[in-house]
Amino acid sequence: MDVLKSLFEQHYGFPAEDVKPLQGQLGGSGRAILRLAGRGVSAIGIVYSVREENAAFLEFSRHFRRHGLPVPEIYAEDLSLGAYLEEDLGDTTLFEFLGKNRTADAVAPPAVDAYRKVVAVLPHFQVEAGRTLNYKLCYPRSSFDRQSIAWDLNYFKYYFLRLAGVPFNEQALEIDFTRLTKFLLGAEHDFFLYRDFQSRNVMLRHGQPFFLDYQGGRKGALQYDIASLLFDGKADLPPALRQQLLDHYLDCLAAHIDLSRDAFMEHYYGYVYIRIMQALGAYGFRGFYERKPHFLQSVPYALRNLRWLGENVSLPVALPALMDAFQAMQGSQKLHGMAAPSAALTVRIFSFSFHREMPVDESGNGGGFVFDARSLPNPGREEQYRQLTGKDAPVIEYLEAQESVHEFFAQARDLVDLSVRNYQRRGFKDLMVSFGCTGGQHRSVYMAERLAKQLRAAGVAVELRHLQLEKLGK
């Protein structure tokens, strides 16, 4: 992105020599995240279209750094173009570190120590830095109030329960939502609420935690963020470790406020429930509605947490319709089966326009092959093919009459075949292959279709999408 290259040169005084997308960090946010490097230094560039969130992140970052909190330094910004340049905190998230330091439910001491460091920092955000934060910049609400809670509950109802086919009584559920909202707002809520305090938003550098993605922060209750971390879906922390970390957090929090543990715990599990529902709403929106199956793999972990809550926690407020919905979710084989990875490799093939959006790898692997088909003869320049696509017979005949097309495809296919064999041998589950051209309508579509056909004929599972054709409705 030219704006990020300009910001890099503005900050360092020399141009970036290498620019790479970090799509594995994009998650569900919609941000374009790139690493720019040159002369032994690097920075992370962000491009995002929501000005209010960008402004909140930039101001919050500066505020937190003034309070000595470990967040990225902001190097340069251009809010008019939705871009900013920040400190590069490396590639290791707390989630990834946890995965490398556990066997089933046995979490190794280095990961436990990392989590203890993270929960010890949280009260500094919530209390010390939160006292003087400019909450007028919060987006879309300045506090986790009745409206915010209603949004989260409806998100869960309409994007998860409804789309997953879970039966519920809507009127009875609304009565429960009203009760739960009143109960949650009974907790003291004059602190900074990070909002997305979870393991993928914590980077570890030289063993120390650094924090990201607090642009959705607002004023709220202390319980929400620690609940977010300890009941973080795929992190799947063992209950004993969750309790140990909660106790450590409360010890640290007591150094900042006059803490009543009983008052804190009275509302704690209510916030655990709403955080899980918010996460399920996000999984449903991204997975069921946007058809990004990677997000649905977290659903069984949320169900596991709900089952533990049902067996070990009694809320001081009656929520019969909601508990019935949770029970129906527990009985769904479809929902429980979503965590099971594919038994074989799946190759995800995309076509796209270089003038539009690049494909995003939702598998979590961070990307794959990207082949540039713009060097090939372009049927889109000729009137008779302009309204057609790479799936139409006249365009296919045109392209297959070109020797350069066959050479290009053969070399791309050989590279992909090499990776497919290697990935299958090593038990990998996902490979991403993308073909781009100028308009995303002819050459890239043809290449993607042809590769998908050959791989399917060889017994390889394929998921195929044409991003620009989807936008055009073709």
CATH classification of the domain holding 33:
3.30.200.20
> For tokens 């088909």, what's the residue?
373
Same domain, 123 and 142: yes
Spatial separation of the C-alpha atoms in residues 474 and 471, rounded to whole Å: 8
Nearest to 39 by CA among 14, 71, 69: 14
Same domain, 119 and 145: yes
Which alpha helices (DSSP H) does 285-388 contain, by range? 293-296, 299-312, 320-330, 333-336
**Domain final residue pick, 25, 55, 87:** 87
- The answer on pLDDT for 34 being more than 60 is yes
- The answer on pLDDT for 164 being more than 50 is yes
The answer to whether 70 touches 171, Cβ cutoff 8 Å, is no
Same domain, 70 and 141: no
Query: Following DSSP, what letter does each residue of 202-264 receive, concatenated?
Result: EEEETTEEEE---TT-EEE-THHHHHHHHT-GGG---HHHHHHHHHHHHHHHTTTS---HHHH
- Number of structural domains (the chain) is 3
Kindly report, residue by residue over 86-120, the tens digit of the pLDDT: 999 999 999 999 988 988 779 999 999 999 999 99
Which structural domain range is residue 260 located in?
Answer: 94-339
Same domain, 208 and 277: yes
Nearest to 230 by CA among 271, 264, 261: 271
- The answer on pLDDT for 276 being more than 60 is yes
Of the chain, the end-to-end C-alpha distance in Å amounts to 28
Same domain, 180 and 318: yes
**Domain final residue pick, 57, 87, 117:** 87
Please tell me the predicted confidence (pLDDT) of residue 334: 86
Same domain, 243 and 113: yes
**Domain final residue pick, 87, 119, 154:** 87
Same domain, 323 and 206: yes
Same domain, 405 and 270: no
Q: List the single range of 74-78, 142-146, 239-243, 354-358 with lowest mean pLDDT.
A: 354-358
Contacts of residue 250, defined as CB under 8 A and 6 or more positions apart, other chains included, come to 259, 261, 264
Same domain, 59 and 145: no
Mean pLDDT, range 393-416, rounded to an integer: 94
Spatial separation of the C-alpha atoms in residues 75 and 121, rounded to whole Å: 24
- The answer on pLDDT for 340 being more than 60 is no
pTM: 0.74
Same domain, 128 and 184: yes
Mean pLDDT, range 324-331, rounded to an integer: 95
Please tell me the predicted confidence (pLDDT) of residue 367: 76
Mean pLDDT, range 143-161, rounded to an integer: 98
pLDDT band of residue 465 (cuts 50, 70, 90) is very high
- The answer on pLDDT for 271 being more than 50 is yes
